[in-house]
Structure 1
Amino acid sequence: MPASTAKPLRVAVLADSDTRWKWGALTANRISPTEFTQPAESTGTPDGATDPDIRLDGFLLRGRATPTARQLDEVGVRADSLREVTAAEFLREMTKEPYDLLVLALVGGGVQAMLHGLAHAWQGRTERPVVVTGYVGVVYEKLADGLLLRHGADLVLANSGQDADRFRAVYEGVGADASSVTEVALPFLGGAPYEKKAPYTVVFAAQPSVPQTRADRTYLLDRLIRHARRHPEREVLLKLRSKPGEHTTHIEELPYQKLAQRQDLPANFRLVYGNMGEVLDGTDLLVTVSSTAALESLHRRVPTVVLTDLGVREALGNHHFVGSGCLASWDQLDAGHEPVPDPWWVARQGVAVGSRYAAAFDTARRRIAELLAAGELPPLKPYYTPVTAPGYLPGVLARHHLAPDGSPLPGAPAADKAPSPVRQIVRRAARGAYRHGVQRVAPVIRRMGEL
């Protein structure tokens, strides 16, 4: 976009959950090349406000994790417009509206489907938005699978120098173009540096799917409660991501809320919701298994612990924190241990502070500005095609009602107008049935199978 234009940058974000909406919208604000109107060292809008030089339209991909109004309000990220769409509706929208930048904040399969769908929808067009994708947080599993499903975007964002090196190695290792990999940082880092407060507050950042078993989740809850009883002078908070019946990025079969109902909770123990940044404002010790909240906490220099009680294992994701200096157990915490993070490790994870953090997005802004200035962009070319992955790609696309060539399949759900009241009721009932099956029926069946 030329520097002389007075029009705001038109940005679209497609997300499939509350956490990905937060990442996508904040990323859009961080990487949009508004250096034409603001200095490059600007820290963007971490409080969730939309940059006045950006017109941000949000799209929520309809599915099992489509966020509720409460979840969206908790995220705190505002947009000029926000609506729910099917894949077919979104693709059709992208052929009508002249966007400058598109951020795909989706699970890997969703990104791949949209890349092929957009390539089909934009056939013959030389003017199209710059397409960007990436990861919400720590990449500790399915590295090759997730990366190759994201290949084909103009920019694939890496949240740290370590991730950028790993991403390029994967692409180059399969003979794919690695030039799209662009180092940035997590877009939601921010807030005031840590200062000790009274009363001393310990926060356990829960995760929907880590750990998975009832025994492990009950153990962690019991240890948190025991810590509260052992230290009655402390406030002990269990920070929850979603309420029962809501879904986020991952499925939560055993919500801590339900496990806590069976416990005699001490007076200094509370369950809390809300924006993680606001919770960190009053935190003196952040404890987690492997949540990205640990990186938010480290960014603000809040004492941070990654638990080793259940082992240091790839299945838990806490292996990512080997070398961080943050690994510790509940026994150590009960005895008063506070970790000291390793500066080199923290820097490699993109947890820079001050001007270094603001500058983390400069390269992405510059690359996007160059692509916009070019006026014409080549067709999207994902690594996966009917030639390179004939036994895999069709299934990925079919889940989003797309044919192997990216065209909508006959009968793909799409509508030119909002669904009728009856259709909305049926949709809500179907989601409720799915969530009931995940959180109530599935655990029972699994326990029966273990008898």
Structure 2
Amino acid sequence: MPVRTSPADAPLRIAVVADSDTRWKWGALTARRIAGRPPELAGFLLRGRATPTPRQLAEVGVAADALREVTMAEFLRAAEREPYDVVVLALVGGAAQAALHGLARLWPGHARRPVLVTGYVGVVYEKLADGLLLRHGADVVLANSRHDAERFRAVYEGVGADAAAVTEAALPFLGGAPHTPEPGRDTVVFAAQPSVPESRADRMYLLRRLIGHARRHPERDVLLKLRSKPGEHTTHIEEQPYQKLARSLDPPPNFRLVYGNMGEVLDRTDLLVTVSSTAALESLHRSVPTAVLTDLGVREALGNHHFIGSGCLASWDQLDAGHRPSPDPRWLAAQGVAPGEAYEGAFDAVRARLAELLARPALAPVSPYYTPVTAPGYLPGILARHHLAPDGTPLPGAAPETEATGVRRLVRDAVRDAARGAYRHGVQRVAPVIRRMGEL
């Protein structure tokens, strides 16, 4: 790998590899937060079902100096050739593990290599051990709160893995002006999630209650904030899009579907309602009244159990009657979302760790917890899904030496877009029909 020789005060060269719009947002903003000064940002979008569209990238609103779509093998080749200081792995657990093994193959011993950073895009409410162990091997594993940092260290230490990489920080996209009521404005926003709840019946229930709230309060603007448009995918697969479900319910004039940057939506929000979206943390950080719904139960499958003790749990019946939850300050502080000046220093620890790692003449080999010895029945399958051999080497044909150009590239891109469209059509239209037929 080329060795960085630029002055110490030059911008850090940071590569962010992401596999969805939400992870690109987290990764790119994390890169900016931890750099301490504006970095040179190279973006790699991992090719797959959730690769963000140009519209989704524009909505995120975080630009890069260079941005390209790649396979895992193509990313590894770029990482080997380019002198990056830091690589941020904004990936789902399996992809992060594949990237770590691929990068470990590039630098098998002590070497002058990039600092590897990874973490989570929001609330960690499921697959804690699985997701953490798949991210082990990075030099920095970011925890979004003190609560998460304690849990992360306990998991690593409990399996005998090194926990030194766990570093407390915060979600990088918190911010914005504190909530200020405006005379004549009364806006309720429901932050939808692609996969929670999952069933059509539960989603229809929430939609009916939201529309019912709009009918009860005609003076109030009631907005359904959606993450993606039909045909687009985000971090999770959405089989029952709210846009499609809303067509049959004849909503009143004060009910609207909205898209766009969550921060901009919160600028005009007077009550944020959700099941368990990370948007609740953004809202609480800005002191916007926030309700986490209990209508479908407080359950691990929904993720709203994460908000036990927050003071934000409420039902639609309570909200219809005018209730506004009041968050517990101690819970907010433990979750890293306390309003005020505390957030300004939330990234000091990771900046200090990054500076210490960058100052070393060489870094230790990348050493994930999962190896052919510790997980011989699990690891090879994860690597194979990203076209890597069990030793992290790209399989033949995974990364052609020359990029397609001209007509070849146009044909390739057209075929790829058609395949994605067929996949999304199958997920959102064909699969639900087959599932209902199977229940007959």
Please confirm whether the aligned pair reaches a TM-score higher than 0.5, indicating the same fold.
Answer: yes
Task: Give me the whole-angstrom Cα distance separating, in 2, the residues matched to 1:210 and 1:187.
Answer: 23
Residue 160 of structure 2: which of 167, 170, 175 is its match? Answer: 175
Counting aligned pairs with the same residue, the percent is: 77
Q: Once the two structures are superposed, what CA deviation does each residue of 1:406-446 show, in whole Å capped at 9, x if it has no partner?
A: 00112325452146111111100100010011000110111
1:84 alignment partner, SS class: strand
Which residue identity does 2:439 align to in structure 1?
E
Q: Once the two structures are superposed, what CA deviation does each residue of 1:57-115 show, in whole Å capped at 9, x if it has no partner?
A: 01000000000000000000011111101111000001100000110000000000000
Moved over 6 A (4+): none
1:305 alignment partner, SS class: strand
- 1:313 aligns to what? 299
Whether 1:150 and 2:114 are equivalent positions in the alignment is no
Which residue identity does 2:171 align to in structure 1?
L
Residue 446 of structure 1: which of 432, 435, 438 is its match? Answer: 435
Q: Which runs of 5+ in 1 are unaligned?
A: 35-50
1:259 alignment partner, SS class: helix
Task: Give me the whole-angstrom Cα distance separating, in 2, the residues matched to 1:232 and 1:243.
Answer: 27
Task: Give me the whole-angstrom Cα distance separating, in 1, the residues matched to 2:399 and 2:356.
Answer: 36
Q: Once the two structures are superposed, what CA deviation does each residue of 1:329-376 show, in whole Å capped at 9, x if it has no partner?
A: 000000000000000011111103333101010000000000001121
The equivalences for 1:90-101 within 5 A come to 90-101=75-86
1:422 alignment partner, SS class: helix
Task: Give me the whole-angstrom Cα distance separating, in 1, the residues matched to 2:79 and 2:324.
Answer: 50
Cα gap change, 1:202 to 1:126, in 2 (>3 Å): same
The equivalences for 1:191-340 within 5 A come to 191-197=176-182, 198-340=184-326
2:292 alignment partner, SS class: strand
- Kept in 2, the 8 Å contact 1:199–1:233? The answer is no
Q: Once the two structures are superposed, what CA deviation does each residue of 1:288-324 show, in whole Å capped at 9, x if it has no partner?
A: 0000000000000000000000000000000000000
Q: Which runs of 5+ in 2 are unaligned?
A: none
- Kept in 2, the 8 Å contact 1:304–1:339? The answer is yes
- 2:420 aligns to what? 431
Please report how far the alpha carbon of residue 121 of structure 1 lies from its aligned counterpart in structure 2 after TM superposition: 1.8
1:132 alignment partner, SS class: strand
Cα gap change, 1:307 to 1:415, in 2 (>3 Å): farther
- 2:367 aligns to what? 381
Residue 84 of structure 1: which of 69, 74, 91 is its match? Answer: 69
Task: Give me the whole-angstrom Cα distance separating, in 1, the residues matched to 2:339 and 2:23.
Answer: 23
- Kept in 2, the 8 Å contact 1:164–1:182? The answer is yes
TM-score (norm 2): 0.97
- 2:411 aligns to what? 422
- 2:26 aligns to what? 23
TM-score (norm 1): 0.94
- Kept in 1, the 8 Å contact 2:284–2:339? The answer is no
**What count of residue pairs does the alignment treat as equivalent?**
433
